[in-house]
Structure 1
């Protein structure tokens, strides 16, 4: 690559050109790149960066030129690929010290502001303390709590849309008063009955959708098929529109965040699907991967039998964040102001396998937790399930 060292006043520029490019004089052309919203003061730098990227040149601040991990651009969608922000090889603590906001912008496809996380959550001390509190006292076996193997060449579910369970009409407890400002106040809501998928939509099920519709495949698919052994893993790298369109194709719809939370918490308002005490062996969470001592990943849907909700719904805690139909808005009675409230971001629920403490989001396992992202965002921790009216 060609690295530019640029001071804050943009006056001192050092160009480092690899010898093979000096000899050949070659340049690499890329497709046009769309830029979204960025922080004030970034426009001149981004304008220069856009010109240089069109020539295959990477522009990095001086402090990061030698250290920052490369996040290659996805020239199809006009945003940086988020996958490399989710790899264990990245030193998240080092990136945080460098105040690198690129990965945050990548995940939101929008302007997050300096130091603001995609979920708009407070400083990482909360997430770090929760992760430490929930960590088991000793390592656990890789298959602890799992009734299905991590990878399998055969699907137990097939490619038909998921089975559903009826969630009966009635009240449920929403939110909490005990944690983050956007999660409260705790209140009771009434919902009519509805159906919701027992499992998250899988790779194999989504493949049938793209095969029948000719839709573009997710970026982790190769030759329009999913990675080997992952037929029953939840599909990822899907935007809100991808999820919404799949559900419509299947004769369903995305659940609202209220429907999602009720299906997970049950009639008693559980904090986790199985109760009010965290159990590392009942869900695919970052705490589990830390206890195993391995890199995180998705697991087959429904693999954690004891993690099922009171209504019979699986993977409501962990595995992948799930898109909902709801805009990210303040709860009734919430007086906390946020510029992110409104019809700008969609709400996701459920948490994932990924340790999002780097993004200052707090532990994602509790069912009252929520995140918000641009509808365009795609990465390896976002999936979905569908709902349906009776």
Structure 2
């Protein structure tokens, strides 16, 4: 068997992207890290190839202006800090929202909260970057607790730091505000074998994936938050850093917001077929490593397809030569 380092590959889709959203094409990416020394923590391990179907993600964190439209339309209660003069400018991210507020807004907008895996893919990009913009910490590219003179100590506008966008063009995925995602938190969820469109473990009260640690906290009682905030240290703004908060309250109020995602009408078999066709082209060009990556993605989308399995064996034989 040949071991080939994972390189993300995506199935390109031609579709009209909704306003202020970006399209994240279907394909694999490396979630998590293996080295949990230094800036990384044990709940970020192990690194694993994850397949995500195509989806849309908000280019910006939800702003006060957008949230105002929601409040007016639904009579939803205003969040904490709504009248705070340093936090209530129209283009600043809404803060003071709990998970249920964020979830309700996204559904009102005909969207949803992103899964943790979707969030991480949008932040890391196909190269698996440490930060949205690359692998080097650059203080000017994010709003976080730099411990330096001149730090703003408040949220930036949602379209700030255009030099720090992710590979997909998503803003402020490092710093500014932590962001709610869909998943319940489990410290060792990454050790499970879910590799296709994972949506996290179920909470208490459901059919739990038994991932409770010895202390029984905070696993499966808290929701995941990602990205760090304006008051978070550098180790919290990496693309793999995981944190959690009680979904009912907002203990990180002035530094916790969200953005929304939207599903496409995906056809997994069609996506898998697209990867298979790419593998055929790569074999014709004798690019066997790329063919191997493509056929692996095809099998993630259609794991029981005998044609794809047989073609993978042929590619492996070429790589073994």
How would you bin the TM-score normalised by the shorter chain? Answer: 0.5 to 0.7
* CA 1:182–1:332: 2 relative to 1, 3 Å: closer
* CA 1:185–1:197: 2 relative to 1, 3 Å: same
TM-score (norm 1): 0.54
Asked if structure 1 preserves the Cα contact closer than 8 Å seen for 2:176 and 2:229, the reply is yes
| 1:366 aligned residue | 238
| 2:198 aligned residue | none
| 2:178 aligned residue | 321
Q: Give CA-to-partner distance per residue, 1:14-56, whole Å, 9 cap, x none.
A: xxxxxxxxxxxxxxxxxxxxxxxxxxxxxxxxxxxxxxxxxxx
**Match for 1:196 among 26, 33, 57?**
57
Largest Rg, 1 or 2: 1
CA distance in 2, matches of 1:369, 1:294: 22
CA distance in 1, matches of 2:34, 2:221: 25
Q: Tell me if 1:220 matches 2:81.
A: yes
Q: Give CA-to-partner distance per residue, 1:225-245, whole Å, 9 cap, x none.
A: 975872111100000000000
Q: Secondary structure at the match of 1:363?
A: helix
* CA 1:162–1:284: 2 relative to 1, 3 Å: farther
Q: Tell me if 1:277 matches 2:136.
A: yes
Gaps of 5+ in 1: 1-160, 357-361
Q: Give CA-to-partner distance per residue, 1:277-311, whole Å, 9 cap, x none.
A: 11001011111xx3234561100012101100001
Q: Secondary structure at the match of 1:348?
A: strand
**Count of aligned pairs:** 221
Q: Tell me if 1:183 matches 2:60.
A: no
Q: Tell me if 1:265 matches 2:142.
A: no
* CA 1:337–1:371: 2 relative to 1, 3 Å: same
Structure number with higher helix proportion? 2
**Match for 1:298 among 155, 158, 163?**
155
| 1:45 aligned residue | none
Structure 1 segment 148-159 matched on structure 2, within 5 A: none
| 1:94 aligned residue | none
Give the Å deviation of 1:212. 1.1
TM-score (norm 2): 0.65
Q: Tell me if 1:340 matches 2:217.
A: yes
What is the aligned-residue RMSD (CA, Å)? Answer: 2.2
* CA 1:365–1:324: 2 relative to 1, 3 Å: same
Asked if structure 1 preserves the Cα contact closer than 8 Å seen for 2:43 and 2:190, the reply is no
Q: Tell me if 1:171 matches 2:43.
A: no
Q: Secondary structure at the match of 1:269?
A: coil
Q: Secondary structure at the match of 1:291?
A: coil
Q: Give CA-to-partner distance per residue, 1:203-259, whole Å, 9 cap, x none.
A: 11101111111111112123xx97587211110000000000000000100000000
CA distance in 2, matches of 1:293, 1:226: 20
Give the Å deviation of 1:376. 1.3
Q: Secondary structure at the match of 1:216?
A: coil
| 1:28 aligned residue | none
Q: Secondary structure at the match of 1:237?
A: coil
Q: Give CA-to-partner distance per residue, 1:343-385, whole Å, 9 cap, x none.
A: 31100000001146xxxxx821101001111101221111000
CA distance in 1, matches of 2:97, 2:159: 20
Gaps of 5+ in 2: 1-17, 193-210, 265-321
